[in-house]
Amino acid sequence: MSLAIPEEKLPAELSAFAAVEAAYPAELARIVDSLRRGLPVLVEAEKELTPYVYKCVRDRLKKETPPRQFLYLDGRPLSDMPPPQPGMGLVATIVFYLREAVRGAAEHRVLVLPHLDLLTTSVGGLTSEAREVIPLLYENPEICFMGFKDPSFPLPKVIENLFPRRESLLGVPRDRLGALVTQRESRKLSGDRSLKPYQLYKSVSGVNAVRMRRLLSSLTGEDYPSDTRPAYQQLRQATLVGQLTLPDVDLHRDIGGYARVKERLGKEILDVLAMKDASDDEGSMKRIEGLIPRGMIFWGPPGTGKTLFAKAMATALGAAVTIVSGPELKSKWVGESEENLRQVFARARQAAPAIIVFDELDSFATARGTYQGSGVEHSMVNQLLTEMDGFRKDELVFVVGTTNFVESLDAALLRPGRFEFHLHVPFPGADDRREIIRIYDQKLGLQLSARALDYAVKRTADLVEGQATRYSGDHLQALCRALARARLRDRTVGPLEIDDVEKALSSWAERPSLTPKEEKVVATHEAGHAVAALFCPHLPPIDRISIRGDLAGALGFVSYSDPAHRYVITRGQLLDQICTLYGGRQAEELFFDDLSIGSAADIQRATDIARALVEQFGMGGDGVGARRVEQGEHDPISETMKVTIEQSVSAILEEQRVRAHRILDENRALVQSLRDVLLEKKVLDKEALATLLPATKKIDAVATES
């Protein structure tokens, strides 16, 4: 097929029947050949295509000798058959004529069944009428059937097995598209007196020939336009069905930050598709199509913009999007969940190019054998695999599954050919947060000052106040919306400043109300953690200290800067962590006559680290040695070794506790000064700390909680 067809080579006029002949010549020829040989044929086609396909086949076979006799059983009266009883419904009338036809003369007769889906339930079961019809279908072997199956409805196997030959007429073959556009319509789609079928196919790949003629004939606009996008936009809007929409999300304009994610999505998917569109060689285009993954997994924490990236990809491709919630697909009725999936794919194919986004894919596609639910999830996974395996190479339908738990997905989904492209969308880093906030600043007219923007970026490096999670894109959007509401409510004039950002983040936060004595204990505890960390050479620098109770489950915390080395962890680093964990407890012991239970989580974590040093990392000293020790029923150890392990763990903990006590005792004044400043300021960032504390070295960016 030429990639550009001169206008004069296109048909001047084209009827719907001629369009069907032009669109499906090979398929029609195979149907006619099968019927000529007496072989029943099942045609998968949309309802509006059925009568046109029937007429094309009938006209071809009527020219033969002897001519074939056709009975089109659609429920309307037939002149050469006895009339049905008055008041019969549509299905009852079809069954009546079918019985008469099967038991009458059968030679050279083709019975056409255009409404086989009326004999089935929505989930492929048999209706009461179907139970009467099935014996009739098998009663007379002399009769040749031509049945039509709507792609939106499954047929029971007992009916499908009647048809040894099957043809699928879904959409229009790309190489036949040039025969379906008239010269007048081509003038609306091109500015250079030629039709580019591959460009047109991107907008109508899932549309059947009859519907395409209707869409093309309704095109409006000037001839030979300098900008053809409005004409193609008309076609795309007309192809949308169900909940499919055309998104308008620009990958770079509307999504801030995430440079690496954007680069990978561009290089792996968008750039490859752009190369296909720019190619002028049909063979090259087909090779490129074979390289494009049709199934993709976008995974990462909640609120990081996985669905937004899918919409941006759809915008770049000019594709329609339908967002499907996994839990909404599931039904308590047998077979209905699978039918819901079939319908989703059927609608997407009709509106191709399209992207189906399965939100919360893990809600039904967990690894088989691990889910304890009703079992419908396994059937849904099988149906999803069936639909994806049925993609044609030139079919522009993509499936994106979003999940927070990629490790829980069924392995069959993740193999090449299915969901083979995996895109990680993590929590936004500092640069990402800056770009996200800047985009919302422009969209919402916040007028953030440079200092306020810097503060917002730094402040959102912590965990979300009152929650044990980091700031995501959704949290940043909520922050900016809160700022916009405050600006509107307070009638603010001029740029927003740091205080405005802090109010939006914390003014409505529910924090514990501490007595002065309780607050002093918490401040002493956190000062102890911080000062102990200063004298542990393998820890990263302190980034922030708070005693406001703005971390879920903790009255105060010390957080550290990102570590210089994230992947190589040494013994010295782990020992320093244990020492710092004991800092809060030992500070309380130095300054008060009593101890609080605020150290419980610290001691638990310190014990876990010490036990890992002894049992997993072979760093327990001479008693245990450089070996891994498993205390379990499959690898039992002696009682003597158990005692030795416990002694080694206790020795590590006591050594670091004493070390922490010594550091704090030698720097008692520094602990007291830091405590007093904390009581006054409540929160100290690294700039404020720089005026109070000496410089330190660093590791593992983990908040020490109490």
pLDDT tens digits for range 199-213: 888 888 888 999 999
DSSP annotation of 539? S
| The pLDDT of residue 2 | 47
| The pLDDT of residue 699 | 30
| The pLDDT of residue 106 | 59
Q: Mean pLDDT, to the nearest integer, of 564-586? A: 88
> Does the CA dihedral 54-59-64-69 come out positive or negative?
positive
| Partners of residue 303 on adjacent β-strands | none
| The pLDDT of residue 116 | 85
Q: In which band, very low, low, confident or very high, does the pLDDT at 702 lie, cut at 50, 70 and 90? A: very low
| The pLDDT of residue 328 | 73
Q: What is the pLDDT of the chain when averaged over all its residues?
A: 84
Which is more confidently placed, 387 or 264? 264
Are 260 and 429 contacting, i.e. CB atoms less than 8 angstroms apart?
Answer: no
Same fold, 25-168 and 259-424: yes
Q: In which band, very low, low, confident or very high, does the pLDDT at 307 lie, cut at 50, 70 and 90? A: very high
Which is more confidently placed, 415 or 70? 70
Check whether domain 516-705 has CATH 1.20.58.760, yes or no:
yes
* C-alpha–C-alpha distance, residues 554 and 192, integer Å: 69
Q: What is the pLDDT of residues 511-533, one digit of tens each?
A: 677 888 988 999 999 999 999 99
User: What Å distances lie between residue 307 and 347, 510, 568, CA to CA?
Assistant: 20, 31, 34
* C-alpha–C-alpha distance, residues 583 and 698, integer Å: 17
Q: Mean pLDDT, to the nearest integer, of 42-60? A: 93
Q: Mean pLDDT, to the nearest integer, of 114-125? A: 70
| The pLDDT of residue 705 | 42
Q: In which band, very low, low, confident or very high, does the pLDDT at 578 lie, cut at 50, 70 and 90? A: very high
Catalytic residue among 395, 519, 526, 588: 526
Report for 200-209, 331-340, 598-607: range of highest mean pLDDT: 598-607
Q: In which band, very low, low, confident or very high, does the pLDDT at 332 lie, cut at 50, 70 and 90? A: low
| Partners of residue 559 on adjacent β-strands | 544
Cβ neighbors of 668 (< 8 A, separation 6 or more) are 590
Q: In which band, very low, low, confident or very high, does the pLDDT at 695 lie, cut at 50, 70 and 90? A: very low
Residue 295 exposed, middle or buried by CB count within 10 Å (0-12, 13-18, 19+):
buried
Strands, E assignment, 326-480: 354-359, 397-403, 419-424
String of b and e for 148-159 (b: at least 16 CB within 10 Å)?
bbbbbbbbbeeb
Check whether domain 259-424 has CATH 3.40.50.300, yes or no:
yes
* C-alpha–C-alpha distance, residues 12 and 216, integer Å: 13
CATH number at 25-168 = 3.40.50.300
Q: In which band, very low, low, confident or very high, does the pLDDT at 461 lie, cut at 50, 70 and 90? A: confident
CATH number at 430-506 = 1.10.8.60
Give SS3 for 560. Answer: strand
- The pTM score is 0.74
| Known catalytic membership, residue 526 | yes
* Long-range pairs for 62-66: beta carbons < 8 A, 24 or more residues apart: 64/36, 66/108
| Partners of residue 470 on adjacent β-strands | 463
Q: What is the pLDDT of residues 439-460, one digit of tens each?
A: 999 999 999 999 999 989 988 8
* C-alpha–C-alpha distance, residues 675 and 669, integer Å: 10
User: What Å distances lie between residue 389 and 42, 345, 377, 415, CA to CA?
Assistant: 21, 12, 18, 12
| The pLDDT of residue 566 | 67
Residue reference for tokens 């750039």 = 271
Are 168 and 284 contacting, i.e. CB atoms less than 8 angstroms apart?
Answer: no
Question: Residue ranges per domain, the chain?
Answer: 5-11+173-239, 25-168, 259-424, 430-506, 516-705
pLDDT at 676 > cutoff 70? yes
Cβ neighbors of 385 (< 8 A, separation 6 or more) are 412, 413, 418
Are 683 and 462 contacting, i.e. CB atoms less than 8 angstroms apart?
Answer: no
* C-alpha–C-alpha distance, residues 167 and 39, integer Å: 13
Which is more confidently placed, 641 or 357? 357
Cβ neighbors of 248 (< 8 A, separation 6 or more) are 315
Rg for the chain, CA atoms, rounded: 35
DSSP element (H, E) containing 157: helix 157-160
Which is more confidently placed, 250 or 284? 250
